[in-house]
């Protein structure tokens, strides 16, 4: 570990820098060690009816077909239809991603 004040190399167990005496800060955790999840939203591009199954598949990291089969199996007991309808109403839709606007060229129209 290096001192943030003077740049002197010191052991990780030191609480103070031996060169300048500044308090040694604990190394901060990087975001690479934290697993981030996709937001729970209905997908716009990969949907059969409402995009609920594809949204859950993306959130859980599963295959879409597996989630769809599980929902169909749950629909035979009646719980699948209620679950799907509730999620269709509650889950937000993915934002619409539009391409950036093209710069308009200033061409004078001559009359």
The model's pLDDT over 54-79, given as tens digits with 9 standing for 90+, comes to 888 888 888 989 988 998 898 888 88
In 10 A of CB 102, how many CB atoms? 6
More confident residue, 5 or 102: 102
CA 69 to chain centre: 25
pLDDT at 52: 86
Angstrom CA distances, 93 to 49, 50, 78, 103, stand at 13, 9, 25, 29
Give 11-28 pLDDT, tens digit per residue: 777 777 777 777 776 655
Structure tokens at 56: 């859950």
Quickly tell me which residue has 């629909």 as its tokens.
Answer: 75
């Amino acid at each position: 570990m290096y001192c943030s004040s003077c740049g002197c190399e010191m052991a990780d167990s030191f609480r103070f820098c031996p060169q300048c005496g500044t308090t040694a800060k604990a190394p901060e955790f990087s975001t690479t060690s934290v697993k981030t999840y996709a937001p729970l939203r209905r997908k716009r591009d990969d949907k059969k009816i409402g995009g609920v199954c594809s949204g859950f598949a993306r959130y859980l990291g599963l295959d879409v077909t597996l989630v769809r089969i599980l929902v169909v199996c749950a629909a035979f007991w009646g719980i699948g239809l209620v679950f799907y309808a509730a999620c269709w109403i509650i889950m937000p839709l993915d934002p619409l991603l539009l391409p950036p606007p093209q710069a308009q060229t200033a061409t004078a129209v001559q009359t």
